[in-house]
């Protein structure tokens, strides 16, 4: 009787990494990739997965998400799994605005406990720092917990979450001294509030004024300021959800000057425009706002030439009612739009920011990016798998297909034509801004650490099997 050398062999597929594409079989033993070879006999494996005519990708890493609203880590991780995502890195901040008296480190620990019990996907954590978090013990304590990336908002002063510049400098220095990484939401908050006040006073509160109240200039200015602070503190910097064409030149200049600087964009900033905001109103309200086709083109160009390093989702799982009412109504259904995803006449400045994008991310970026000729398939793998794994210290266990790496694999069928919509997604959110978008290509089979995660449209791996992934400071950064 032939000895079973492997638990699973994925056969006949085109294995794609950031380095290129090769027709290889993948032999999996336990949780890890054990062999890559042109031919591995099915007879030495307990199971064979036929990937003929399909791509075999590393599991997608979604390095930007907020599973703290209608979708928490349980349903968010399920939705992400349907999109070929196998690792998530959520943002967590203290919960004092919810009446929970705890430090950011305590909030992070509470989230880790929740995710260990309820997530279907392996996960890391980014900490969101507010001004009063920047004390001598918090950043080092978080680094000791494996949280090595620290996000600060340069906007939203009236919401009480904008990081003052002087405290941001202190936080960057603490992160740099501890081997961590600063992250910023780069928009000039005072400039935005000034414009919102003027538009509101003139009764200009409809959706067409959202982008005008958050102009591209205010993003580019904040990117420049954050990169300046990162330079003088010696702190690596990651700028989240870039959207404005002018920001590309700022990123390039500081990279050329030697700053360890990483840029991120999202599928919505690659494909949607302010026309979507004008049509759907509050449902399409995000920060930064959707912009213009020229900005989409600039984001694709930044991905192609290396200015942008990562594509992530910026998932926020809100329902339509939450978006429309800002979450304040005692009867949310009363404030829902009359038709699914339809246009509204609300005060755009009172609506919530955020949208649910994770499940659609891989098909959207593949269809518009690879099929559309903007980026190659290895480059897609680089910005959605390898680069986030390297930047956040998860490589080489995550982010690639190599002997010894975790067997997080996605079998992606480039021939599957399907239409995106809320009815087919797997979140508690009941809308998507990709409603009706027809795409070619879909994940059809997924593994997490050698176990089947998704097969035949069904989740196979139960909640509570996730592993917490502390950032490895010695591996951080490409």
Q: What is the DSSP string of 321-388?
A: HHHHHTT--SSGGGGS-SSTT------GGGSPP-B--HHHHHHHHIIIIIITTSS-HHHHHIIIIIHH
322 Cβ contact partners less than 8 Å away, ≥ 6 residues apart: 69, 70, 332, 352
Mean local confidence (pLDDT), 259-283: 97
d(CA 397, CA 405): 4
Percent of the chain beyond pLDDT 90? 89
Q: CATH homologous superfamily for 59-391?
A: Metal-dependent hydrolases (3.20.20.140)
pLDDT in tens, 330-367: 222 223 332 334 434 579 999 999 999 999 999 999 99
Mean local confidence (pLDDT), 150-161: 95
- Amino acid 475: pLDDT: 53
Give the confidence band of 99 by pLDDT, cuts at 50, 70, 90: confident
pLDDT in tens, 100-115: 889 999 999 999 999 9
Q: Whose CA is closest to 180, among 121, 250, 260?
A: 260
* Cis before 231 (ω within 30): no
pLDDT in tens, 373-394: 999 999 999 999 999 999 999 9
Residue 1 has pLDDT above 70, yes or no: no
Residue 476 has pLDDT above 90, yes or no: no
Q: At 418, which helix (H) or strand (E)?
A: strand 409-419
pLDDT in tens, 446-457: 999 999 999 999
d(CA 26, CA 4): 15
Least confident of 1-15, 385-399, 433-447: 1-15
- Amino acid 326: pLDDT: 56
Radius of gyration of the chain (CA): 22
Q: At 182, which helix (H) or strand (E)?
A: strand 181-185
Give the confidence band of 473 by pLDDT, cuts at 50, 70, 90: low
Structure tokens that stand for 311 in this block: 């594509």
Report strand pairing: 20-23 vs 149-153.
Answer: unpaired
Name residue, tokens 């990169």: 227
Q: How far is CA 376 from CA 72, 154, 241, 307, 383, in A?
A: 33, 33, 21, 15, 11
Name residue, tokens 């001598």: 136
- Amino acid 342: pLDDT: 41
Three-state DSSP at 115 gives: helix
Mean local confidence (pLDDT), 177-181: 95
Least confident of 138-152, 155-169, 217-231, 461-475: 461-475
383 with 303: CB under 8 angstroms?
yes
Q: At 16, which helix (H) or strand (E)?
A: strand 14-17
Q: Which residue has the higher pLDDT, 31 or 475?
A: 31
Instruction: Point out which residues pair with 402 in neighbouring strands.
Output: none
Domain range annotation of the chain: 59-391
Q: Which residue has the higher pLDDT, 148 or 474?
A: 148
The highest-confidence range among 1-10, 71-80, 332-341, by mean pLDDT, is: 71-80
- Amino acid 345: pLDDT: 52
Average pLDDT of the chain is 93
Residue 200 has pLDDT above 80, yes or no: yes
Percent of the chain beyond pLDDT 70? 94
How many Å from the N-terminal Cα to the C-terminal Cα in the chain? 46
- Amino acid 131: pLDDT: 81
Mean local confidence (pLDDT), 52-80: 98
Q: How far is CA 72 from CA 75, 149, 151, 317, in A?
A: 6, 21, 20, 8
- Amino acid 190: pLDDT: 98
Residue 220 has pLDDT above 50, yes or no: yes
Q: Which residue has the higher pLDDT, 426 or 95?
A: 426
Mean local confidence (pLDDT), 268-276: 98
pTM, 2 dp: 0.95
Mean local confidence (pLDDT), 466-472: 93
Give the confidence band of 98 by pLDDT, cuts at 50, 70, 90: confident
């Amino acid at each position: 009787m032939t000895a079973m050398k492997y638990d699973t062999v994925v056969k006949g597929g085109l294995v794609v990494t950031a380095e290129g594409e090769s027709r290889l079989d993948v032999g999996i033993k336990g949780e890890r990739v054990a062999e890559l070879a042109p031919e591995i006999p099915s007879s030495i494996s307990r199971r064979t997965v036929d990937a003929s005519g399909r791509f075999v990708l590393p599991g997608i890493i979604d390095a930007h998400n907020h599973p703290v609203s209608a979708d928490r880590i349980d349903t968010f991780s399920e939705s992400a799994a349907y999109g070929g995502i196998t690792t998530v890195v959520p943002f967590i901040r203290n919960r004092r605005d919810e009446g929970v008296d705890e430090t950011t480190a305590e909030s992070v620990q509470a989230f880790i406990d929740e995710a260990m019990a309820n997530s279907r996907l392996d996960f890391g954590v980014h900490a969101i720092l507010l001004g009063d978090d920047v004390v001598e013990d918090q950043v080092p304590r978080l680094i000791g917990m494996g949280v090595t990336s620290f996000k600060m908002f340069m906007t939203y002063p009236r919401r009480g979450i904008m990081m003052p510049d002087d405290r941001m400098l202190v936080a960057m220095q603490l992160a740099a001294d501890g081997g961590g990484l600063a992250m910023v939401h780069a928009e000039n908050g005072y400039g935005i509030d000034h414009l919102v006040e003027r538009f509101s006073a003139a009764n200009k509160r409809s959706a067409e004024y959202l982008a005008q109240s958050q102009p591209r200039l205010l993003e580019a200015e904040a990117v420049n300021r954050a990169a300046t602070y990162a330079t003088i503190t010696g702190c690596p910097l990651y700028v989240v959800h870039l959207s404005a064409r002018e920001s590309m030149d700022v990123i390039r200049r500081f990279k050329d000057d030697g700053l360890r600087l990483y840029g991120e964009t999202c599928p919505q900033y690659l494909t949607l425009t302010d026309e979507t905001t004008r049509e759907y109103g509050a449902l399409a309200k995000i920060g930064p706002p959707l912009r213009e086709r020229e900005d989409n083109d600039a984001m694709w160009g930044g991905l192609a030439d290396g200015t942008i390093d990562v594509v992530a989702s910026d998932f926020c799982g809100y329902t339509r009612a939450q978006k429309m009412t800002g979450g304040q109504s005692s009867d949310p259904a009363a404030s829902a739009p009359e038709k699914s995803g339809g246009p509204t006449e609300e005060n755009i400045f009172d609506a919530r920011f955020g949208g649910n994008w994770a499940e659609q991310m891989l098909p959207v970026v593949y269809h518009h990016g690879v099929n559309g000729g903007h980026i190659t398939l290895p480059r897609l793998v680089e910005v959605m798998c390898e680069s986030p794994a390297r930047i956040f210290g998860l490589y080489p266990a995550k982010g690639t297909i190599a002997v010894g790496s975790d067997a997080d694999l996605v079998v992606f069928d480039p021939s599957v034509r399907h239409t995106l919509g809320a009815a087919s997604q797997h979140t508690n959110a009941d809308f998507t801004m990709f409603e009706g978008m027809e795409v070619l290509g879909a994940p059809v089979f997924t593994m997490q650490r050698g176990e089947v995660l998704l097969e035949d449209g069904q989740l196979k791996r139960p909640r509570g099997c996730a592993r917490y992934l502390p950032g490895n400071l010695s591996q951080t950064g490409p």
